[in-house]
Amino acid sequence: MLRRIRIELARTKDFPEGSHAHGYELVAPLTEDGRLDVDDWKANRQVCTVHRFWRGEPDQTGQLVRTRADRWAFSYEPGPDDDEPIHRLEEHRFVEGEYVSVREADGDVHPFVVVQVRPVPGLS
């Protein structure tokens, strides 16, 4: 089932309380236990989107992709230059309170906490 997943910056040195103003909202199919449903992603990849919001920077919208190196990433433009890899995405559980790490295009890795998972009306 397709879900809208919101992840927000978890506690870091620069943000000891985390931040609601830094994160991602993505649409992806999940299994009953909250893991990425890879087969359903293959059938629905055109609607598996990501929206990056980061205070002080323009918002970005892109796709959840599988790269040529067989890794998951958020991609905003064609080509790998702006890809943001997610290590072992299919092993993560997208359940409120769980954590996910994202490597930004500049190489910095940030921890994020899952703050909301809800059905996508009309796409579930």
For range 89-95, the mean pLDDT: 90
DSSP track, 9-42? E---SS-TT-EEEEEEEEEEEB-TTSBB-HHHHH
The answer to whether residue 89 sits within a structural domain is yes
Range of the domain at 64: 2-118
Statement: residue 31 has pLDDT above 90: yes
Using the predicted structure, report yes or no on whether residue 87 has a pLDDT greater than 80: no
| CA 8 to chain centroid | 10
Return the half-sphere exposure (C-beta side, CA atoms, 13 A cut-off) of residue 77.
Answer: 5
- The chain-wide mean pLDDT, for the chain, equals 91
Residue 123 placed within a domain: no
Q: Which residue has the higher pLDDT, 113 or 87?
A: 113
46 φ, ψ (degrees, to nearest 5)? -65, -25
Residue of 9, 35, 50 lying closest to 89 (CA atoms)? 35
For residue 39, pLDDT over 70 is answered with: yes
pLDDT of amino acid 60: 95
pLDDT at 55: 95
Give 111-123 pLDDT, tens digit per residue: 999 999 999 987 6
Question: Using 50, 70 and 90 to split pLDDT, how confident is the model at 77?
Answer: confident
Specify if 7 maps to a domain. yes
Q: How many domains does the chain have?
A: 1
Please check whether residue 124 lies inside any domain of the structure: no
Q: Residue 114: inside a domain, yes or no? A: yes
Residue 59 lies in a domain: yes
Q: Is residue 94 part of a domain?
A: yes
In a domain, 90, yes or no: yes
**Cα dihedral angle (107, 14, 114, 30), rounded to 10 degrees?**
0
**pTM exceeds cut of 0.95:** no
